[in-house]
Each structure stands twice: as structure tokens, then as C-alpha cells.
Amino acid sequence: MKKVRITFWTLAILLIGFAGGIYLFGSNSNVQQQSNSSGSIMMEQAVEPPEKIKKVIQTYNLIKENYVETVEDQQLIEGAIQGMLTSLEDPYSSYMDIETMEQFSEQIESSFEGIGAEVSIVNGNVTIVAPIKNSPAEKAGLRPNDQVLSVDGESLEGLDLTEAVSKIRGEKGSEVVLEIIRPSASDVMEIKLKRDTIPIETVYSKMKKVNNKKTGIIEITNFSERTAEEFAEQLMNLENDGMEGLIIDVRGNPGGLLDSVEEIVGHFVPEDIPYIQIENREGQKEERYTDLKEKKKYPIEVIIDEGSASASEILAVALKEIGYDIVGTNSFGKGTVQNAVPLGDGSTVKLTFFKWLSPKGNWIHEEGVEPTVKVEQPDYYFSNPVQIKKPLSYDRAGAEIKNVQQMLIGIGYNTERDDGYFDKSTQKAVKKFQKDHDLKETGKVDKQTAGVIEAALIKKIRSGEDDQQLEEALENLYK
Amino acid sequence: MKKVRITFWTLAILLIGFAGGIYLFGSNSNVQQQSNSSGSIMMEQAVEPPEKIKKVIQTYNLIKENYVETVEDQQLIEGAIQGMLTSLEDPYSSYMDIETMEQFSEQIESSFEGIGAEVSIVNGNVTIVAPIKNSPAEKAGLRPNDQVLSVDGESLEGLDLTEAVSKIRGEKGSEVVLEIIRPSASDVMEIKLKRDTIPIETVYSKMKKVNNKKTGIIEITNFSERTAEEFAEQLMNLENDGMEGLIIDVRGNPGGLLDSVEEIVGHFVPEDIPYIQIENREGQKEERYTDLKEKKKYPIEVIIDEGSASASEILAVALKEIGYDIVGTNSFGKGTVQNAVPLGDGSTVKLTFFKWLSPKGNWIHEEGVEPTVKVEQPDYYFSNPVQIKKPLSYDRAGAEIKNVQQMLIGIGYNTERDDGYFDKSTQKAVKKFQKDHDLKETGKVDKQTAGVIEAALIKKIRSGEDDQQLEEALENLYK
């Protein structure tokens, strides 16, 4: 189930920002206040706009009347708003139109409406990677590796993943018919499903014996609405189960709601030190405190990497400054707080209102949290997807060959060189790989071989068997 | 003098756009009309802005009141205008603030105020490449290879070319003192100059004997205010001198004023076919005609390349469609006409008003003009600046090595491979090059060797001795 989050990576950027205060959308009355207050400002100003804004209106009319093509009002209005936000040179302040807002809400609410299956493109086919537990997909009997041919009679051929997913998704309660090929069956099947609300889990935990000690590992993939609650529950379960040490893994976690991380920090930072400081535009700092009497009795570590941003960094730096070890690589470096302010028509402006500082008053913006124990993952974790135009072969040289060499080394097929020169040892490694994977032993890397190498690498990374950051964290925990 | 244009390449993008109609700025009364007409639209609308623009004002206020940092009004206003223009997804529609407008005017007026010298950075020093004829720089005795140490007592050390140039330039009539080192002299000299208006030439012509025929070659680097006049004068001189064939070279010419190219086309396209068609947003086409009775009696060719855009393409396609050969590579592909509309405060909106079509009604936008005789320049014309982190040496591989191999081949030091593998033949070529250039014969390419290779390549390209497009044009002209 954990792998579900992969399908959401394209949206991750939206979540690097998170809301200030305890409110963001929906039924909370504070949202309405916020909305109304800016709404009333608007009405006053609209009658007599600031003198300088006339230049904007002048340009608006110039374009409407003269541009070589007809332009919709909305396009220009959204362009102007986006342009003002762009002028701030703040990557976290942005305009979200109605559609973007829907995706954003999905993230924040950690749920979406659909059939509940992780899908991927495999060899050009839309393929079920895994159905989510208790989802319509699971109940209807969808299985991993099922290929989806069509949705409600419409072929998925030629669509990319996002396009295919948007066809499969739909409102709760609506019905959809998928045409499926199952590798083990010969005929095409039609499967009818009723879409539902699918929760996205953001907390995963397990207990592991390390040096004979019961060690809890909690991974948080995102700080969304139900994350703090899930975290509290799983932490309690681990503690009840006799946990003797805890590792919190926020690698690749882009952040989320301030609320959510505040509740989680509340389990660990005692009341005598602020867990965060919020600084406003006038430079005034508000120190925030938990009501926790004392620190946990067991050792704790946080694992971070360059993808840990925002809320993840609030957690990491707070725990670091009260003496816990932070393992991994330097984090992303986002030290600001955004507020999502609705404009009244379904669109929203996400704007940076505040800076946040660590308990001791450090601003980690654009610097990140430095781990106390630095550990990098192996090089092959960062290899690029292979683009094969013509097969790579002996005595050729280039960046693609370097990439493939690193991947081969990653999956245990050692080459003497990894600098992009295709030497005899690379040829030998390729032949061995091809033999082991029932490919023709050409010693050349064509599209097929490259694809199988890539798949083997992804499998190895996903298996976690070579997760050096986690290994180091476990080793270090009871020192 | 021709090399002066190199200093302007950073601004070239502005010139890909050109003005519609015969007016763009300055004293022409039509400009005033344009300005006033949009000015009055503004005034009407400002009192009661379009309903939807309230959302822009609302966001404006939201940012002013809440953004984590204080923001200037002007920044938001310019952001909004730029944002509306960006929303058009038209690279040729843009906002020009007061400073950008000044640079733009310099281009269009083909003059600037300064001392009149082409400068460059050579081995980290600001160096005079050539003083412009009759300029203050020439009159004061500045010579090629003079190094400029300081300007009015301020050291130029560590400045890049743009920064250094901005210190040397200044208003007509103002005085400036340069501290100079001259290679042939031992002492530092101080030279005082009075800045003046420096015209930028945009037309260069020469006569060359080809197969015993007097062949005129006119290069146009830009279509600016005085270009048509210069062209007419130089064309007349060549004709009076008995020219038997003409080559017009608009390679790398990004375009300019529509006026300017219209006058030039008027020398060649006869009155019985439109030389251009201007299409408005309603799809109405205006055919424009010259009053030329008949075509030139001598053969003509136009040379274009991927840098020939806009006005250059108007010229090329018009001459192509009346039967002349076009030599070189496919041109840039810009088929629209912009108008620069002043907003009344010195800033300007450059907006696409029209499409232009060829005499026969073809729209070359995003396609370019296809030459009738395709000739590419040698590969080494397109090699990249070399970035040496650590010296390149035998048995290494990589993109930088490939680049250096192409450069070596370009300047006549042949290597057996040019695929990025540093083989024995590459080592030999490097040693030979080092010997010929008084460098230590290491066979490795370090920063110094790479720099000398690059300089040798630039020198060869500038010499024009291997200009295969021009050679082919000359060969083809009398066929």
C-alpha cells in the first residue's frame, strides 16, 4: 500500500507549502472569516482602485482589443494574479485555479475519489501495481499486473499515466467498467466497479528487532489532515508493544499542514522549550509550546534526506535541538508558512505569511537541517531513466553508458569502469545480466535490456535491502 | 567594426520582435495617436474596472497587507502586466520597463552613447578589441589590445563584461578617464575621453571577384532605423561599380523594424506581386505592393541560417517566391508583427498585433524559410565553450572530451575519434597543438590548453576562411 504515494509525486510540489494557523479549507469557521475579510477589502478597493493599478487595466484593454488572437477574460485575470505572485520570487506563493485546488484538497484531506488502485505504465500498458486494501478495486478482485485496456469502452492506448488515471477516477458512487487482461488468463475480462472515497495513508509503522531490542520505525510520507491522528495511534501501538527505541523516517516527505506536524511534535518536545517560533513581517516572534511534561524514555532518531521539506524539517530540527540524532543527508530548506486564502470563486491564493524558526531561533530556509550523522544512499539510487536511441556497445563512450554502468554496479553486476567508456568488463557484465534475465546475450544495451536493467534497479531500491541511511540509524540508535 | 555587434547579442531577443506600421517611437505623430487612444481607454475603464478585474485588486491588497516581506507597488503592477502577457504564451509579447526600453531604443535607433569601442574580456582583463571609426575612442588614440584597468578611478577587477561596459558608457557630453595598460608600453596611462553618440552600423558591403565577375556581398546585421538608407546607399555604390551579381547575407540577423525591411524589399520585388501580406485578428489580409517596375538584371541570392528571424525572413521568403535562390539552413520561423505601445510613464507593452504572410500567402511561423540550396556550416561552428574541471587525459571519456575533439578537428588537428573517448590519436593531436602554440607538451587538456584551443577556433570562425555557406552561394550564383 505504501507504494500508492508514487502516483502522487507529480503533485508533491503543492504540498511543500502548508497552511498557517489551524485552518486551511472547508467547514472551519476561521476560513470564512479569512475569506470575508479579504472579500470586504476587495469591495472597497474595487470602486476606487489604487492609482497605479490603472496601468494594469490599460494593458488588459490593450490586449483584449488588439492581440492577434481573441483572449478570454479569465486567462488575463489569472495571468495578472499569477504575475503578481511571480514577482515576489517566492516559489511557495502561487495562484491555484479551481482544478488545481481540487488536487490540492485531495492531498491535504489525504483522500481521493476513485477505484483505489495504484497504476503504472509497464511496457506501454496501463497496469495495476496494487489495489488498496478495502477499496472497490480490491473488492472487485483486481490483481497486481492486470492490464487495463479500456475504461467505459474508451481505449487507453497512447494515453500517458495522468490521462489514464483521470479516466479511471471519478466521483464517489459513480460506476465504471474496466476491460482487463490478466497475464494468467487468456480472455479479456470486463469488471464493473462503483467508485468510492479512497483514504491515502500517510503513516506506516513496523517493529524490528535490533541488537535484540524492539525498535519501532515510523515513516511519515506527508503531513495531511489525518496524519497526526494516525501517527498517535501507531505510536501508541508500538509503545504498548514494548518499543525500546524509535526511528521516524521523513525522507522524501515534502511537508503539509502546520497543524499536523505541531501535534506530532507534541509527543516529543517538552513544555520548557518552544517547539517552534513563528515570525511575522514585522519581525515579531511568537514562541509556541507543547504541554508535554517530559521527554520519551526511549532513544529516538529522525532520518531525513534532500526531499524532506517544510513540516518534515520542523519535526527534524525540533528533535535535533533537544538532543536527538538526525541521520541522513541535508534536508531541503523551506522555512516559511503559507496560508491558502480563497478568492470566493473556488480559486485560491497560497501566500507566504510567516517565517518559522527552530526552537532555538534558527531559520533553516535555503539551508536545510544538517544531520548529526551524515549518510548518503548509494550512487545508483540517483541514476536517471535510460534513454536508448541506438544500442550502447563496446568501445563507445557517453553519458548514457556511464548511467548504465552505475545501474549495473547497483544491482551487483560490477564493471571495472563507471566513467562512460564501454570497456570489456562492461560488455561482460551486460552479457552476464542478459543470461541471468533470459535475454539474448549480445553484450549490447538495447532498449529491451536497458528496460530490464532499470526494472531490476527499481526493484532493488524498493526492497530497501540496501538502505544505508536506515541501517546506519539502526546501528546508531542504542550507542 | 563589424564585430561590434557581438556585444549586443544579449539583447538580440528584443529585436526578434519588430514594430507594425511605420512607426514605433519618438517624434512620429502616429505614436502619439496610439498612445492617446489607449490612454483614453484607460481613463474610462479606471473609474469602473471590468467586474472580473476585482479579483486582481483583491490579490493585490492581500499581498500588500500580508506577504512576509514588504512589497513595492510597482513590483506588483509590473508583475501583473507581465503575467497577463505571459498568459498569451507568445514569446514576442512582453512588458518593457523604463530601463529595458532604453536598451531597446538603442537597438532600434542603431546608436548608443559612450566612447565607441568594442571591448571584450581577454584572460580576465577588460580589453579593447577595436575602436569604432571617428569615435571618441579612436580620436583619443585607444588601440586594439589596450587593457582597461579602471574607469574614473574605479577598478574593473572582477566585473563581467556587461558590468564593465555599463561603467564605460554614459551620456553624450560627459567625460570619463580610463586607466590603460598597453602591451607595447611599460607604464600605465590615463586617457580622458568625452562620450558621444556612437552610430551602430548594420550594413556591411564589399565587392569580390568570382569567376571573374564582380560580385557584391551585402551583410545586414539588424533592421534598425538607418538600415534601409545605408542599404540603398551601398547597393547603389556596388551597382555604380559594375556589380554583376549580388549576395545578401542575413545570417544571425534577428529582425527589427518592419519599415526597414519593406524599404529594402522595395529594391527587388516588382509591383505585380505583393511583397508581403499583413493579416489581422479577424483574418483580413492586406496585400502590400512596391512601385518597382522590374526585377534587377543581375542574379541575386540570400544567405540565411537558424538565426535569421522575422524581418530577415520577410526579405528571404519574398525573394525566394519571385525565383531567387536562398542558400544556407532553415531560418528561425517568426511570422508575427509586434507594436510597441507606450503606457505613458516611459514603460511600453510590446504586443503581437498581426501575422505576416509571404507574397504567396504562406505563414512561416514556427517553420522558417526553407533554403533552396541547403548548406550547413562545419560542426565545429557549433561547439560549446569548454569547461575544464580537471584536465582531460588519455583513456578518459565524456562530453567535454567530445567537444574538444570537435574543436581540434575544426582547427585542423585531426583525431581518429570524436565521440568523447580520449584515444591515442587525440593525445597526439593535443601534443601537436601544444607544440605549435608554445604550450608544454603534456598531451592533456588543462584549462590553459583548452583556452588556447578555443581562442584558435574563434579566430578561425571569425576569419570566414571556412564559410561553406558563402562559398556555396558564390559558386551557385552564376550557374
CB A234 within 8 A of CB A218: yes
- A61:B49 CB<8 A: no
Q: List CB contacts (< 8 A) between A42 and chain B.
A: 54-55, 57-58, 61
For residue A150, pLDDT beyond 90: yes
For A83, name the nearest residue in chain B, comparing CA atoms only. Answer: B83
Q: Tell which wins on pLDDT, A451 or B3.
A: A451
Q: What DSSP string describes A77-124?
A: HHHHHHHHHHHTT-TT-EEE-HHHHHHHHHHHTTEEEE--EEEEEETT
Domain with CATH 3.90.226.10 in chain A: 203-338+351-378
Taking all residues of chain B, what is their mean pLDDT, rounded to a whole number?
85
Most A CBs within 10 Å: which of B84, B280, B402, as the mutation test of the A interface? B84
Q: What is the pLDDT of residues A350-386, one digit of tens each?
A: 999 999 999 999 999 999 999 999 999 988 888 777 7
Question: Mean pLDDT throughout A12-21?
Answer: 28
- Residue A287's beta-bridge partner residues? A277
The region of weakest confidence among A6-20, A51-65, B35-49 is A6-20
Q: What is the pLDDT of residues B434-448, one digit of tens each?
A: 999 999 999 999 988
Catalytic entry in B310, B312, B406, B434: B310
Would residue B52 show up in a list of annotated catalytic residues for this protein? no
- B59:A339 CB<8 A: no
- Gyration radius of chain A's alpha carbons: 26
Most A CBs within 10 Å: which of B33, B37, B56, B73, as the mutation test of the A interface? B56
Q: List CB contacts (< 8 A) between A56 and chain B.
A: 53, 56, 77, 80-81, 84
For residue B321, pLDDT beyond 80: yes
The pLDDT of residue A161 is: 81
CB A327 within 8 A of CB A476: yes
The pLDDT of residue B187 is: 81
The region of weakest confidence among A129-138, B73-82, B369-378, B465-474 is A129-138
- B45:A58 CB<8 A: yes
ipTM score? 0.78
Q: List CB contacts (< 8 A) between A53 and chain B.
A: 56-57, 60, 77, 80
pLDDT band at B145 (very low <50, low <70, confident <90, very high): confident
Domain with CATH 1.10.101.10 in chain B: 391-463
Question: Mean pLDDT throughout B255-277?
Answer: 95
- Gyration radius of chain B's alpha carbons: 26
The pLDDT of residue B50 is: 67
For B52, name the nearest residue in chain A, comparing CA atoms only. Answer: A77
Most B CBs within 10 Å: which of A33, A72, A77, as the mutation test of the B interface? A77
A396 vs B67, B354, B419: nearest CB = B419
For residue B20, pLDDT beyond 60: no
The three cell numbers locating residue A376: 548518503
For A281, name the nearest residue in chain B, comparing CA atoms only. Answer: B68
CB A327 within 8 A of CB A371: yes
What is the bridge-based pairing of β-strands A245-249 and A300-304? parallel
Q: For B181, how many CA atoms within 13 A lie in the half-sphere containing its CB?
A: 10
A86 vs B39, B56, B83: nearest CB = B83
- A78:B87 CB<8 A: yes
Distance from CA of B97 to the nearest CA of A (A): 12
A52 vs B68, B73, B336: nearest CB = B73
Query: What is the rounded distance in angstroms from the CA atom of residue B285 to the CA atom of residue B147?
Result: 55
Nearest to A406, CA basis, from A391, A397, A417, A395: A417
Taken as a whole, chain A contains a residue count of 479
Would residue B33 show up in a list of annotated catalytic residues for this protein? no
Nearest to B457, CA basis, from B414, B407, B405: B407
Distance from CA of B98 to the nearest CA of A (A): 14
The pLDDT of residue B315 is: 98
pLDDT band at A19 (very low <50, low <70, confident <90, very high): very low
For residue A2, pLDDT beyond 70: no
Distance from CA of A179 to the nearest CA of B (A): 39
Catalytic entry in A93, A135, A331, A338: A338
Q: What percent of chain B has pLDDT over 90?
A: 62
Most A CBs within 10 Å: which of B77, B78, B418, B421, as the mutation test of the A interface? B77
Taking all residues of chain A, what is their mean pLDDT, rounded to a whole number?
85
The pLDDT of residue B10 is: 21
Q: List CB contacts (< 8 A) between B53 and chain A.
A: 56-57, 60, 77, 80
CA distance between the termini of chain A: 33
Question: Mean pLDDT throughout A343-351?
Answer: 90
Catalytic entry in A310, A312, A383, A469: A310
The pLDDT of residue A49 is: 56
The pLDDT of residue A104 is: 77
Domain with residues B203-338+351-378, CATH architecture: Alpha-Beta Complex (3.90)
Catalytic entry in B107, B338, B406, B469: B338
Q: List CB contacts (< 8 A) between B56 and chain A.
A: 53, 56, 77, 80-81, 84
For residue A9, pLDDT beyond 70: no
Taken as a whole, chain B contains a residue count of 479
The pLDDT of residue A151 is: 94
Most A CBs within 10 Å: which of B33, B41, B44, B58, as the mutation test of the A interface? B58
Q: List CB contacts (< 8 A) between B86 and chain A.
A: 79, 82-83
Would residue B40 show up in a list of annotated catalytic residues for this protein? no
Q: Tell which wins on pLDDT, A446 or A458.
A: A446
Distance from CA of A414 to the nearest CA of B (A): 19
The region of weakest confidence among A108-112, A393-397, B161-165, B344-348 is A108-112
Contacts of A357-361 spanning 24+ positions with Cβ under 8 A: A357/A276, A357/A277, A357/A278, A357/A279, A357/A285, A358/A276, A358/A277, A358/A317, A358/A318, A358/A321, A359/A269, A359/A273, A359/A274, A359/A275, A359/A276, A359/A277, A359/A317, A359/A318, A359/A321, A359/A322, A360/A321, A361/A277, A361/A285
Q: What percent of chain A has pLDDT over 70?
A: 90
Distance from CA of A422 to the nearest CA of B (A): 9
For residue A313, pLDDT beyond 50: yes
B84 vs A39, A63, A87: nearest CB = A63
Using a cut of 0.90, tell me whether the model's pTM lies above it. no
What is the bridge-based pairing of β-strands A154-155 and A147-151? antiparallel
- B341:A85 CB<8 A: no
The pLDDT of residue A50 is: 66
For A59, name the nearest residue in chain B, comparing CA atoms only. Answer: B81
Q: What is the pLDDT of residues B173-213, one digit of tens each?
A: 999 999 998 877 778 889 999 999 988 889 999 999 999 99
The three cell numbers locating residue B69: 516581506
Catalytic entry in A93, A147, A260, A334: A334
For residue B18, pLDDT beyond 70: no
Distance from CA of A171 to the nearest CA of B (A): 30
Q: What is the CATH number of domain B391-463?
A: 1.10.101.10
